Amino acid sequence: MTYLLDTNIFITAKNELPMDVYPSFWHALSQLAANGSFKSIKKVEDEIRKGKDELVDWIDNNLPKDFFIKENAETLVALSTVSQWATMSRVYTQAAKVEFASVADSWIIAEALSQSVTVITHETPNPLCKKRVKIPDVCNAVGVKFCDLNTAFRTLGITI
């Protein structure tokens, strides 16, 4: 089973599971990337690299070069579906729709849709949220599976 990691998985881990205190977590993440169970997308990498911190160094030294998937024609077709759903939704403010289109969220859902894989995110569904288009709500709408990191670890039999 393949999972795509949202930016918030990396950022939250960096902030709450420091590399020097939780090396087993970071080793497990690296191993899951090496065996192809975990991947992400180029847009997530771009968001992480804005930090110019130890997380960028960790990525450079611990993830396979093909970990971050670059979008392709299938991704763009799926992005059209994802974007159309968000644009047509009457729930979200215009600012929320613009933000969703400008960050990695729409792209990771599109990649997951095009590859029939699961998104890992710390976000939780909230279909009544108007100020932010949330990954789980879009996933539910377009038929993409999602879960949190602990669920993915349990499914893969990973303990730390």
Q: What is the pLDDT of residues 11-70, one digit of tens each?
A: 999 999 999 999 999 999 999 999 999 999 999 999 999 998 999 999 999 999 999 999
Question: Is the Cβ–Cβ distance between 100 and 86 less than 8 Å?
Answer: yes
Taking the domains of the chain in order of start, what are their residue ranges? Answer: 3-69+149-156, 73-145
Mean per-residue pLDDT of the chain: 96
Centroid of chain to Cα 131: 20
For residue 90, what pLDDT is reported?
A: 86
Cα–Cα distance, 78 to 142 (Å, whole number):
9
Length of the chain: 160
Q: pTM for this structure?
A: 0.95
Kindly compute the dihedral angle of the four CA atoms of residues 79, 103, 149, 146, in this order, to the nearest 10 degrees: -30
For residue 91, give both structure tokens: 């729930």
Report the pLDDT value the prediction gives residue 83, as an integer from 0 to 100: 94
Residues above pLDDT 90, as percent of the chain:
94
Give tens-digit pLDDT for 107-120. Answer: 999 999 999 999 99
